[in-house]
Amino acid sequence: MKFQDLLQNISHTHTELQIKAVQSVNQALTIRNWCIGAYIVEYEQNGNDRAKYGEKLFATLAKELKTIKGLNSATHLKRFRKFYQTYPLFGQVLVQEQFLLPASIRPSLMVELQNIDNQEIDYTKLLLQRVSFTHLSVLMTIENSTKRRYYEMLTLKTTPSVRELERQINTLSYERLGLSANKDLSFEQIKKTITVQTPQDAIKDVYFFDFLGLSSQQNFDENDLEQGLIAHLQDFILELGNGFCFEARQKRILIGGEYFFIDLVFYHRLLKCHILIELKVDKMKAGHIAQLQTYLNYYQAEIKEENDNPPIGILLVTDKNEALVRYTMPTQGNDLFISKYKIQLPTEEELQNFILKELKKR
């Protein structure tokens, strides 16, 4: 055996077992969420006191399950119910494969479907084994079953990241293929554009971390440069004083069933508003501004108190040679407030100098 053979064997073994470990956790997560969805549906149909909770069922459940990470969200619980209703055949697969299920899963929860052939069971088994729950969460938002089956097939054949799967849906991959005269050629071209998911991509899954009870701070795929800049930026802002109160770093928010992370969040006690800061180790792109504006809109609608002023966003962009600072606010901000915040906040020059100084250290 040559040294290169030894190196290749070690690397191959690590990758293969890492994939198996991720698949195992994802499968357990999928089964858990399917079972929870089954419990909820059964309770809604047969619970002796279900009328007592009614529309408040999910909020009450989330409150009672507050100590269990990932289950203390009404949104998640509703998604699990939807999951059970969208993929009832999972129950048949679990029975056939003799998975070790909780004793509380009774036969009544296994939806019995007549005239289901073995091919359909085998297909469902592949979904359970090879598609993560986060991918399934995206897939089950597609109401048309034929369209959903196309994206399931695309996921099985190309193992895209969740973001890539969403991109395929948003760019109407299914509709474009349907309009194509040569569908085989079009499908091959579509597959070539897809970025394949790696085990590391799967491990970044929020559901994955919630299920394992790990710290949410481990979710992020920020490189060392960006992490260092954000950490030092936090200290820099606080050193300026002027009423800054630090609230969160990598603040996780949920918009439309998707998680987003805001780099830094402050509350300014003099301006009486939140300040959201996003840093990109890249040149400024239109998407960066749109992303920050989305966060501002979210804070305006969901977080801002009655007596607060509109939130302020600061976008810091660098391509390692130059720095650009852009302030942005919701359109309802008035001129008086804009003039006031220019006095209270760091100037663009101060922020640019900070970024350039930090970059010179590296």
- Give mean pLDDT in consecutive 10-residue pieces for the chain, a chain of 362 residues: 81 80 83 89 84 85 85 88 91 71 55 65 88 91 93 90 86 86 81 72 66 54 58 76 83 82 88 88 79 90 88 82 77 63 79 76 60
* pTM beyond 0.75, yes or no: no
What is the DSSP annotation of 211-272? HHT--GGGG----HHHHHHHHHHHHHHHHH-TTEEEEEEEEEEEETTEEEEEEEEEEETTTT
Residue 273 bridge partners (DSSP): 268
Smallest Cα–Cα separation from 311: which of 275, 345, 278, 337?
275
Q: Residue 139 in contact with residue 155, Cβ under 8 Å?
A: yes
Those residues whose C-beta lies under 8 Å from the C-beta of residue 70, and which sit 6 or more positions away, are: 76, 207, 210, 211
State the greatest distance between any 2 C-alpha atoms of the chain, in Å, as a whole number.
75
Element (H, E) at 328: strand 323-328
Per residue in 143-156, is it b (16+ CB within 10 Å) or e — as a string? eeeebbebbbebbe
pLDDT for residue 220: 41
* pLDDT at residue 225 in the model: 58
> Measured between alpha carbons, how far is 362 from 352 in angstroms, rounded to an integer?
16
Which pLDDT belongs to residue 101? 59
CB 342 within 8 A of CB 305: no
CA distances, 242 to each of 245, 261, 316 (Å):
9, 25, 20
Taking the CA atoms of 230, 233, 238 and 241 in sequence, report the sign of the dihedral they define. Answer: negative
Domains and CATH numbers, the chain: 3-160+197-209 (no CATH), 222-360 (3.40.1350)
**Burial code of 93-102, b = ≥16 C-beta within 10 A, e = fewer?**
bbeeeeeebe
What are the residues facing 277 on neighbouring strands? 264, 314
